[in-house]
Structure 1
Amino acid sequence: MSSASTYHPDLLAPFLPYVWIDGDNGLRAKSRTIPHKVTDVSQLPHWDFDGSSTNQAPGNDSDISLRPVAFYKDPFRGGDNILVLATTYNSDGTPNKTNFRHHAQKTMELAKDAAPWFGLEQEYTLFGLDDRPFGWPKGGFPGPQGPYYCGTGAGRVVARDLIEAHYRACLYAGVRISGINAEVMPSQWEFQVGPCEGISMGDELWVARYLLIRVAEQWGVKVSFHPKPLSGDWNGAGCHTNYSTKQMREPGGIQAIHTAIAKLSKRHDEHIAVYGDDNDLRLTGRHETGHISNFSSGVADRGASIRVPRHVAEKGYGYLEDRRPASNIDPYRVTDIIVETTILDK
């Protein structure tokens, strides 16, 4: 008999889903067990998968390596079970085309003395298996936007049980989720993650997305991160990016904020290029957005590219909000270019 046929894993051995970003900016996962409790990421083995099935490799050279970078408590199984976030590398050891974390980590290391903090506001839309917005009247439409944002009560919000289950899952896992709210369009919600420093912002947002998709799976609900999931007079979905450096957060930091805004204004097109696919459908100058072709900034202005919160302007220090990123961004790319532009002067 082969050794494989006589192997009986310990039922108490940790169960580990390895989660990674695929070739279409989506999430994939496959699971394994290892014979010991994990206390450090260095204890996690590398693993392979078929990249030709995830748009990450050709069929004649399909093995892509998964290299663990972080792990989180598993809210679905508890105990010593964990979720593993992994990045992807080609067979020759180079980063896969989807591995934007690799470059972002180098950027964050160069900028670490500035202590860049981020907080991301992830908007998303829930759909049923029939591809209609979840909870919308069958064959019709809900009333116009107005009562749904931060709404309360039947007819104003849908799927609160699902959304709060996701919140609890993030808290259990150790993801720094900091809030949730119903959004302007019915069946659209938002969660916030942060503040997180440097590379951890991208890590935590991807894990929070994975947990949302997994929780929604149990309800038979699909999650869309498309920036304009429905045409017409409905708000799109963004991923507003709150950002600060140590200098911005200290008294008198408003000058550093203005300096950063000036730098951002000079690279508007470069930023838009990595701020999400189909973002032109969202950044129209309507529905609380600035136009994709123009850069603008203002205090408390939700129609600007960059908003300075009023309390920040009054105190004279704090953070800025970049309102341009779409809901389907890769957070590694967004945090990377913001730090490059404002700290490393690219």
Structure 2
Amino acid sequence: MSLLSDLVNLDLSDTTEKIIAEYIWIGGSGMDLRSKARVMCDTYTPAGDPIPTNKRCNAAKIFSHPEVVAEVPWYRLVHANSKLFKFNPGPYYCGIGADKAFGRDIVDSHYKACLYAGINISGINGEVMPGQWEFQVGPSVGISAGDELWVARYILERITEIAGVVLSFDPKPIQGDWNGAGAHTNYSTKSMRNDGGYELIKKAIEKLGLKHKEHIAAYGEGNERRLTGRHETADINTFLWGVANRGASIRVGRDTEKAGKGYFEDRRPASNMDPYVVTSMIAETTLLWKP
């Protein structure tokens, strides 16, 4: 674990004009990451068409639309992931102590490495299942949210590789009375963040409800095993929203309701979702779609 220790103690104050570039790309399954020297980029066929797994291309078109650009969409992606251990249910959420927190050295190393790489990582915490952790990326504007989450995933894969630990983005890695793993997506537009924005938030949520099936189909493979109506989820076939309701499809915070402006949280995306698809789809439905 000495390499992990080196990452935890990484000095973020040093600067250098030299960089190591490594190409990172999303493999054929849409979830496997590969690399050969570090740069995240779009991928195209020799004819110039985006390859099937290049979801960034369409997302970039949506985020470059004038109506979307004008609203400066903010995202904060709350990404759960699991390091696989076997334990009984217990007080693991935000837990501390050797009997509750498993893999903290990995999580702390990941946080430091993301900061060093310039990722806008903004938080970490232990989740409900032992060995399950969450990190947050954002607030990020538009396409940057997808870019940053994919690179943060890559960094996490490399760190768990060093640690010899199996990493899972499966939305329900352990069956039974356990929470699944989601990628809750916090979202707001410029108008929602301004006075009177709560009314626009409610209109946006109404639009998302009308396209619930389309969003569910794009929100991650195997999500039906997670969205059961239990373990702080809404049933996959039902759309509902509420204030401070963790069992809803869309949750609005109490502070947003009280202030009359702010953001909302789409709790439906699975931990294996493609952030380019999810973020651009939310923007397209709420800003460009005219029902």
Return the index of the structure with the highest Cα Rg.
Answer: 1
Q: Determine which of 175, 181, 184 is the counterpart of 1:237.
A: 181
Two-structure CA RMSD over aligned residues (Å): 1.2
Distance 2:257 2:160 in 1: 39
Shift of 1:15: 3.2
Unaligned regions of 5+ residues in structure 1, if any?
Answer: 1-11, 32-82, 128-132, 137-141
Q: Which has the higher contact order (CA 8 A, sep 6+)?
A: 2
Shift of 1:343: 0.3
1:100 maps to what in 2? 55
Shift of 1:143: 3.0
2:78 maps to what in 1? 121
**Structure with the higher strand share, 1 or 2:** 1
| 1:21 is the counterpart of 2:26 | yes
Distance 1:143 1:100 in 2: 38
Distance 1:117 1:143 in 2: 38
Whether the 8 Å contact between 1:239 and 1:323 is mirrored in structure 2 is yes
Q: Determine which of 285, 300, 308 is the counterpart of 2:229.
A: 285
1:87 maps to what in 2? 42
Which digits, 9 at most, give the CA deviation of each residue in 1:20-44, with x for residues without a partner? 111112210013xxxxxxxxxxxxx
- Higher mean C-alpha displacement, 161-170 vs 85-94: 85-94
1:216 maps to what in 2? 160
Amino acid at match of 2:60: Q
Distance 1:233 1:13 in 2: 49
Shift of 1:325: 0.2
Distance 2:42 2:83 in 1: 27
Distance 1:152 1:288 in 2: 22
Please list, as runs of the form range in 1=range in 2, the aligned pairs for 1:307-346 lying within 5 A after superposition.
307-345=251-289
Shift of 1:239: 0.1
Aligned to 1:334, the other structure's residue is in SS state: helix
**Structure with the higher helix share, 1 or 2:** 2
Whether the 8 Å contact between 1:21 and 1:87 is mirrored in structure 2 is no
Q: Determine which of 100, 107, 112 is the counterpart of 1:163.
A: 107
1:143 maps to what in 2? 88
Amino acid at match of 2:88: G
Distance 2:268 2:257 in 1: 20
Distance 1:23 1:241 in 2: 25
Whether the 8 Å contact between 1:125 and 1:187 is mirrored in structure 2 is yes
Please list, as runs of the form range in 1=range in 2, the aligned pairs for 1:181-220 lying within 5 A after superposition.
181-220=125-164
Q: Per the alignment, do residues 156 and 97 of structure 1 end up closer, same or farther by CA in structure 2, a change over 3 Å counting?
A: same
Aligned to 1:186, the other structure's residue is in SS state: coil
Q: Per the alignment, do residues 198 and 217 of structure 1 end up closer, same or farther by CA in structure 2, a change over 3 Å counting?
A: same
What TM-score comes out, normalization by structure 1 length? 0.77
Amino acid at match of 2:219: Y
Amino acid at match of 2:34: R
Please list, as runs of the form range in 1=range in 2, the aligned pairs for 1:29-48 lying within 5 A after superposition.
29-31=35-37
Amino acid at match of 1:171: L
1:176 maps to what in 2? 120
Which digits, 9 at most, give the CA deviation of each residue in 1:267-308, with x for residues without a partner? 000000100000000000000000000100000000000000
Distance 1:223 1:251 in 2: 42
Distance 1:144 1:329 in 2: 26
Which digits, 9 at most, give the CA deviation of each residue in 1:94-148, with x for residues without a partner? 0000000000000001111111110000000013xxxxx2xx4xxxxx2323x10
What TM-score comes out, normalization by structure 2 length? 0.91
Unaligned regions of 5+ residues in structure 2, if any?
Answer: 1-16
| Identical residues among aligned pairs (%) | 56
Distance 1:318 1:180 in 2: 22
Which contiguous aligned blocks of 4+ residues in structure 1 show a shift greater than 4 angstroms?
Answer: none
Amino acid at match of 1:243: Y
Amino acid at match of 1:118: Y
